[in-house]
Chain A
């Protein structure tokens, strides 16, 4: 079974986000970048399926400028077999990303596509579902458990009311939630080995996808800061303040 894992280069989750002074966007100059945490969970899940003997090949694919090859190398060091880099300097929305990924799906015919449920920069939570729709595949989003057997994948999903399990015929799209697994660290020998694994570079402009976005970013503001309030001495003062000052309890 072949697994495709699309990954995104995003701001490191430990970095404090700053808005540019001209409010045109978030300032990413000299900011530490990393593989998006949900994508890391996707890579880990694919590797576990390979370790169980279910998957035979794992391909990681990323879209963007040359720098995304760093994250592809991370995926290869973790255990993926080969990489695909779709090169573009355009700022793309989820729809264009999904269309570009669809061209890879058409070429590689993976049995399973595992992606992060969202990226921690745009917080869109769209790409996996869009790719599934464009590829006419079923989807299991927000997965906390994935079981592949008999040409099907059972996905347990974290939903607002609890958990839901769905059965999907293959090929299918799965998007990962936080509790699916805990990603491993790449070992030094594997990092060295990853340098020799192949990365195919494809120019996005050659894939026949219209890369123009219909979404215009008008401005980006810092959120209103909430001011800390007061410390209360004890429970009696707290209850008094809630009743008589904030008037939120009766």
Chain B
């Protein structure tokens, strides 16, 4: 077995999902190559080379890959794929975007969003928004797999793999980058945070999300939101936790003013400890919460903030 793993990064920093991907790939086999595709991303390759279990880092450093455009990335991965039995990428908006193109161009199926590796051809994945868990077996010559990173532990950073550059350049004239509006935050990313505090419709408006800031600061937490809060325009889409947003599994998840729709639960129910603060004691969120506090969030949040000081 030889596995090509696609590194997640922003051209400067390697994302922690990559360590989890490598850990998932190591359940298939030990011959792991990490592909870093981007622009001016040599530093990322150096970080990638430290991940335990990585035999080699392949660096594809070219302007064509700067914005992870799927038309270009897929062609690159397809060309490299001939040397590997498996290609793994994270089930992020990057991996979900280009991997199905890779699978189609190789004429094989893709197995999406796995949460467990059973063997080199058998994987476990949630379906129906996590309301059923399927075990699937692939008879394809190559396995094209996206991985739900939150379901796996992270590989360590004590390795020293070699770095090799590839000069394969694939540029599609049909697609170009126009602009990006990325949220700048000093806080940890949702998918990497040990603690997450999320607000829902009960927050009433975007300004009230500031009530979560002090608590997040004290706990080193990321701030998330339910789909209802995002749809209502309280906060931007990248804060959404749920089946169609980010899937998270932190040590501690605090749901504030969130009723607990199935869609939201699918995104956070694998958290180690769940706390719910909601004034409706019948809210479904209490059925999954380890600790439930029935009360008005506008009274309880300042108290929680003070208690953590």
Contact = CB atoms under 8 A, between A and B. Distances in A.
A141 interface: yes
Contacts of B140: 214-215
A56 interface: no
Interface string A128-145: 111111100111011010
B219 A249 contact: yes
B104 interface: yes
Interface string B135-153: 1111110000000000000
A122 interface: yes
B84 to A, nearest CB: 17
Given A125-B112, A178-B244, A221-B132, A216 B289 contact: no
Interface in B169-190: 172-183
A192 B182 CA distance: 46
A229 interface: yes
B27 interface: no
A182 to B, nearest CB: 9
A137 to B, nearest CB: 7
B273 A223 contact: no
A129 B77 CA distance: 15
Interface string B217-243: 001000000010011000011100001
Interface in B288-308: 288-295, 300, 303-304, 307-308
Contacts of B294: 231
B251 interface: yes
Give the interface SS of chain B, mostly helix, strand, loop or mixed: mixed
B108 interface: yes
Contact of A167 (B133, B178, B246): B178
Given A158-B93, A178-B227, A220-B132, A229 B103 contact: no
Nearest to A11: B128
Interface string B90-106: 00111011111111110
Contacts of B74: 133
Interface of B: 10, 67, 69-71, 74, 92-94, 96-105, 107-113, 122, 126-140, 172-183, 191, 195, 219, 227, 230-231, 236-238, 243-244, 246, 251-252, 269, 272-275, 281, 286-295, 300, 303-304, 307-308
Given A120-B128, A161-B238, A246-B272, 6 more contacts: A93-B109, A124-B112, A129-B100, A160-B92, A169-B175, A217-B135
Interface of A: 11, 16-17, 19, 26, 93-95, 98, 117-118, 120-134, 137-139, 141-142, 144, 154, 157-169, 172, 177-179, 213-223, 226, 228-232, 234-236, 238-239, 241-242, 246, 248-249
11 contacts: A120-B128, A123-B127, A129-B97, A130-B100, A130-B110, A144-B237, A162-B236, A178-B227, A216-B138, A217-B136, A231-B294
